Amino acid sequence: MMATLRNPRGRLPAARPMIKHNVTSIDVARLAEVSQSAVSRSFTPGASVAPETRRRVLEAAHKLGYRPNAIARTLSTRLSKMIAVVVSHLQNQFYPVVIETLSQRLQQDGYHVLLFITETEDADELLADLLSYQVDGIVMASTSLSSGLAQQMAEARIPVVMFNRVSRAGRISTVSSDNFGGGKAVAHFLADGGHSRVAYLAGTEDSSTNHDREAGLREGLAERGLRVVARAVGHYRFEAAQTAALELFGPLVTASERPDAVFVASDHMAFAVIDTLRLELGLRVPEDVSVVGFDNVPQAAWGAYRLTTVQQDAGPMIEATVHMLLQQLEDDAVTRDHVVIPTQLIQRHSARLPASGLPASGLPASGLPAPGLPASNPKVST
């Protein structure tokens, strides 16, 4: 049994204060017999330093238990090596994949991500707050900002790239898929499949992605002598999409009025539509209703859905975003560039096929050839 020693008054003896020596880069430089700047370069990704020098520095740092002070480095270089990522609609399966891949890509260049989540697409209030974190750049995914705040960012020389959104608000660079081309390809696909009553389930009304996807659908249908016969709004949310599906296909809609196909502005909402059609309304997909989504998230290939959808190629979108950010940081200038990445219609089993059929994997939606052919270059404008 362990006894606890107490002083005569019954109180525990006072603990002796621990004196801790903070190891600095000067200590590492002395042990490694190099300059302090060599220590700094050894811990800076991409910096020029001889392999032998780096080895000696890392060995000395390990012996001394040295860790670089990121805050001190920020004060000396005026760079935090932090990129803020602002995102809404995180329940959409497309964005967790984007955040993971974007974070890994930025880390390759020595940057780290600060994630900010907003409940609305208007990020003005949040952006004004996050500037206090001294971030080097900002990626806005599924969010937007006012022209006034965009100008403030430009004056502060903080590069901002809007991911999967298009904006005319000041000097803001944007990266997006060809949403209009994707919507138009869906229209042609459904018309060629014999559908005559096509509905549209919208995302967020004022988002550029929703606007362009719907505009492409309407133009493509008009080219085939058709129109959108019904429309509902799902706000890019699962529960709202279920309600919207009941509005489009529920008991109050007669069989003659019921759409025979629906283009849904995101896969996340398309899953809700398929569940509602099958489980609540007893309708068959695609025999009674064809469903087409947008994004091609991993779950779209699951056996329960096998969703026909338009693929957003996240890889090139992320690469373009990182390139824009790093180029502006290197030039110390805010620019306004726009990159549009082609899309591809991926055919599975949630929509009836045209009589002529399709290739097994899909067809081009906006200039991107079928697999096995060379891809076209992204569209870039300044």
Rounded CA gap, 314 and 300, in Å? 15
Residue 264, classed as helix, strand or coil, is strand
Judged on CB neighbours under 10 Å (0-12, 13-18, 19+), 359 is exposed
CB 214 within 8 A of CB 203: no
Nearest to 262 by CA among 291, 302, 224: 291
Q: Of 262, 255, 232, 231, which is closest to residue 244 (Cα–Cα)?
A: 232
pLDDT attached to residue 257: 94
Q: β-strand 308-311 against 290-295: which pairing, if any? A: parallel
Token couple for 365: 């939606």
Partners of 294 in the β-ladder? 310
* Size (the chain), residues: 382
CB 230 within 8 A of CB 248: yes
Low-confidence ranges of the chain (pLDDT < 70): 1-21, 45-46, 68-79, 120-125, 127-128, 143-151, 168-171, 356-382
State the CB neighbour count (10 A cutoff) for residue 35: 12
Name residue, tokens 């020596």.
21
- Amino acid letter for position 76: S
Residue 105, classified by CB atoms within 10 Å of its CB into exposed (0-12), middle (13-18) or buried (19+), is middle
Rounded to 5°, angle at Cα 70 from 173 and 64: 150
What's the CA gap between 341 and 280, in Å, rounded?
37
- Could you give all domains of the chain from N- to C-terminal order, each with its CATH number? 25-68 (1.10.260.40), 78-177+315-341 (3.40.50.2300), 179-313+343-373 (3.40.50.2300)
CA–CA gap between residue 339 and residue 204 (Å, rounded): 22
Rg, the chain, Cα only:
27
Whether the Cβ atoms of residue 162 and residue 336 lie closer than 8 Å to each other: no
Sheet architecture: strand order including 290-295: 228-233, 198-202, 261-264, 290-295, 308-311, 344-346, 363-364
**194, 355 in Cβ contact below 8 A?**
yes
- Residue 115, strand partner residues: 85
| pTM (two decimals) | 0.75
Edge-to-edge strand order for the sheet containing 338-341? 112-117, 82-87, 137-141, 160-163, 173-177, 338-341, 379-381
94, two tokens: 């497309």
pLDDT in tens, 316-340: 999 999 999 999 888 877 778 899 9
Nearest alpha-carbon partner for 93 in 236, 283, 249? 236
* DSSP labels, 267-317: HHHHHHHHHIIIIIS---TTTT-EEEEEE--GGGGSTTT--EEEEP-HHHH
